[in-house]
Structure 1
Amino acid sequence: MKKRLFYLDFVRTIATISILLTHYNARFLEYYMHPAMPDRAIITLFPFNIYIGAFGVALFFIISGAALMYTYQSQCSLKDFYSKRFLSIYPMFWIGYILVFLYYFYASKHLPYLSVPKPYFLVTLLGMDGYLSGILPSYYLIGEWFLGCIILIYLMFPLLRKLALSHPYLLCIGALLLYLPFTFWIQVPNFLSSKLLMVRLPEIIFGMIFVLKIKRVRFWMVIPSVLILIVNTIFKPTFPESFQTTYIGISCFLILTYVSAWFDRPFFRSVCSIISKYSYAIFLTHHVIIDELANRFPMTELVRSERYMLFFLCCFITAIASWILYHLNRKLLIAIRKIRSGGEKIA
């Protein structure tokens, strides 16, 4: 079993907190509040001149590429890889979806999405409803667009891994040629460019190349990364946000990886390990919990201390829900393994 890399847990913890902040602070934006009150957001809405959600997602894509490459660098059996990816995503997603579906049924006293044609539920079963929500009718309740994009990346990873090992420069050039047109010029109707797989490829591939070739952040890499963040914050360039997100995400990853050595202590290891362990469950539960709690508070009237208190309450309840979801999923996976092993013995 490979040694656990603390810097991946550390960066994943920062990314998880960023996503929690994103959906809490979104309650003060136009989608939820008229007029919007962005000044009431806690901590920040736009770190380094990009939206905090874009910041958190960029870190998640980079560490996903790094973690996959670290795990499968020496060998990658397709059967083993896809089986593990399936079990790491779908059972917990389906359990979470059923629980949220039942909650909404109880709360609203009718079935969600009665008007949506039933065949579209297949999109939800595949975990792609959040990703395709702007294009197809769906039964979307949890998961968001990030899940669908990660599923597509998992499908592509064996090919990306093979190219990274055999032709890394060709892979980087090819990814760049796909990335630039969709970042700067090509628009897909009803589909944000940030959701496009081509736009996320540089982050995934950077994470892979980091583990494969760079391995460790040197101080000379940190200096330009810090300068990039400072310049982008002060001068606020008008480049497309997807482009800014890429170089800000990579810069922050390098800085956080370097800084993680200062926090590599038993207490921080334990905290980051726990948050990383439950990060997928947190991702599936937090948005629903934040929305349900925020709907019960007068968001326009909360003073600063109350807004922070509500955020911590959201985090606390999310932690409980995530613990429950994680362990329900764990029990299901244990049962599945017992059934499979029993079938193998009979055979």
Structure 2
Amino acid sequence: MKKERLFYLDFIRALATIMILLTHYNARYLFYYMNPAKPENAIISLYPFHLYIGDLGVALFFIISGVSLMYVYHKKCELKQFYSKRFQSIYPMFWITYFIAFLYFFFCLKHMIHMEVPKQNFILTILGLDGYLFGVVPSYYILGEWFLGCIILMYLIFPLLRKLLLSHPWILCIGAVLIYIPFAFYEWFPSFSSSKLLFVRIPELIFGMIFIWKIKESRLWMAIIGVIILACTVFFNPALPSSVKTTYIGISFFIVLVYISKWLDRPIFRGICRTISKYSYAAFLTHHVIIDELAKHFPMADLSRSSRYLLFILYICITALVSWLVYQLNARIIQAIRNNPIRNISS
């Protein structure tokens, strides 16, 4: 039996997608082309709740990943089926998009990108881990960001987390917190931010799993507590590590957004959020390259306020178009493979 589609998941995924797109636009404009940097000129916002907007967007993605996975696999999780679906949801589109981007850069540069990187390191790209390990291991990283590698690792351990949550919830939660604390409060690896560590992001995934399993919806008193936490963070700005802020602000904001979504659940808004959610992964894969290429054709440091916003709109439109094309291409290739008579005979 097909499960009911949860509007708040589409709503929060759409919002998180916009936040990530906004993050990289502002990063290109404010930090790469401004000397000195001018964060006060950010489009919309750069540090909501005194937390970098990109960190907040990623936290929301991890939480809704936990919700989505537990919602679908709460009753039953067959490993072969689970990993097959995760593989199909990530790798084909990633490989297709990477291949296109690789050829594009080859055409522009007149040589292969990252020529200095050992050829055997391309295995990291095949596995989708090149962005995750970027800065630690030389790779052929072009697109996808570190988030992709981290979510792949989360998918790998989800069946184990699910089993532990259903059988020993308190042991899992206490263990996750005990492992989280030393890594979230201290940077152990200078070249690898703690925010990328799996141990630091697991509490967000587990919270999402618990939310859909036990809580199911955000009640008024929960939303009020969430608003209070966010307000206190804004007014007092506690001197806590960024990873710690990301966790509690992300969870608080998620709870508030789930409550707000009840009042936004209308046909038109539902359709908009569902569409953005549908193409969010394609946008996630493509947007970084698009803003980099756009920035090369504009005097970024000299743009007026109105021009900055106009360029942002152009960036969103191009990302939407390219994401739609990538999504359709991926769907057609997957369908062609499934309809391959040779494959059908061999199977």
TM-score clears 0.5:
yes
TM-aligned CA deviation for residue 170 of structure 1? 1.3
Aligned residue runs from structure 1 range 76-115, under 5 A: 76-115=77-116
- Return the letter of the residue paired with 2:180: Y
CA contact (8 A) 2:33 2:301 kept: no
Q: Which runs of 4+ in 1 moved over 6 A?
A: none
CA contact (8 A) 1:229 1:248 kept: yes
Aligned counterpart, 2:325: 324
Separation in structure 1 between the aligned mates of residue 324 and residue 345 of structure 2, nearest angstrom: 33
Aligned counterpart, 1:280: 281
CA contact (8 A) 2:30 2:41 kept: no
Separation in structure 2 between the aligned mates of residue 305 and residue 233 of structure 1, nearest angstrom: 28
1:248-270 CA distance string (max 9 Å, x none): 00001000000001110000110
CA contact (8 A) 1:123 1:129 kept: yes
CA contact (8 A) 1:28 1:38 kept: no
CA contact (8 A) 1:28 1:40 kept: no
1:310-329 CA distance string (max 9 Å, x none): 10100000000000000111
Higher mean displacement: 279-288 or 165-174: 165-174
Aligned residue runs from structure 1 range 12-27, under 5 A: 12-27=13-28
Q: What is the DSSP-based 3-state SS (H/G/I as helix, E as strand, rest coil) of the residue aligned with 1:30?
A: helix
TM-aligned CA deviation for residue 187 of structure 1? 1.3
Higher mean displacement: 299-308 or 197-206: 299-308
Length-normalised TM-score, structure 1? 0.97
Unpaired runs of 5+ residues, structure 1, are none
Give me the CA root mean square deviation: 1.2
Aligned counterpart, 2:306: 305
CA contact (8 A) 1:58 1:246 kept: yes
- Return the letter of the residue paired with 1:202: P
Aligned counterpart, 1:314: 315
TM-aligned CA deviation for residue 20 of structure 1? 0.5
1:118-158 CA distance string (max 9 Å, x none): 00001111100000012100000001100000000000000
CA contact (8 A) 1:104 1:112 kept: yes
Separation in structure 2 between the aligned mates of residue 166 and residue 336 of structure 1, nearest angstrom: 39
CA contact (8 A) 1:149 1:195 kept: yes
1:46-98 CA distance string (max 9 Å, x none): 00010000010000000001001001111111000001101110000001001
- Identity fraction in percent: 62
CA contact (8 A) 1:182 1:193 kept: yes
The alignment status of 1:164 with 2:165, answered yes or no, reads yes
Aligned counterpart, 2:119: 118
TM-aligned CA deviation for residue 303 of structure 1? 1.3
Aligned counterpart, 2:128: 127
CA contact (8 A) 2:33 2:300 kept: no
Separation in structure 1 between the aligned mates of residue 238 and residue 30 of structure 2, nearest angstrom: 22
Separation in structure 2 between the aligned mates of residue 117 and residue 186 of structure 1, nearest angstrom: 28
Separation in structure 1 between the aligned mates of residue 167 and residue 61 of structure 2, nearest angstrom: 25
Length-normalised TM-score, structure 2? 0.97
TM-aligned CA deviation for residue 338 of structure 1? 2.1
Aligned counterpart, 2:184: 183
Separation in structure 2 between the aligned mates of residue 307 and residue 238 of structure 1, nearest angstrom: 32
TM-aligned CA deviation for residue 4 of structure 1? 0.5
TM-aligned CA deviation for residue 344 of structure 1? 5.0
TM-aligned CA deviation for residue 302 of structure 1? 1.2
Higher mean displacement: 21-30 or 74-83: 21-30
- Return the letter of the residue paired with 2:334: L
Higher mean displacement: 29-38 or 141-150: 29-38
Separation in structure 2 between the aligned mates of residue 345 and residue 266 of structure 1, nearest angstrom: 44
- Return the letter of the residue paired with 2:242: E
1:7-59 CA distance string (max 9 Å, x none): 00000011000001000000234344322121221111000010000010000
Separation in structure 2 between the aligned mates of residue 186 and residue 301 of structure 1, nearest angstrom: 37
Separation in structure 2 between the aligned mates of residue 33 and residue 160 of structure 1, nearest angstrom: 44
Aligned counterpart, 1:236: 237
1:185-237 CA distance string (max 9 Å, x none): 35123100100000001100000000000001110101111011111111111
Separation in structure 2 between the aligned mates of residue 343 and residue 93 of structure 1, nearest angstrom: 22
The alignment status of 1:201 with 2:195, answered yes or no, reads no
The alignment of Structure 1 onto Structure 2 pairs a total of residues equal to 346
Unpaired runs of 5+ residues, structure 2, are none
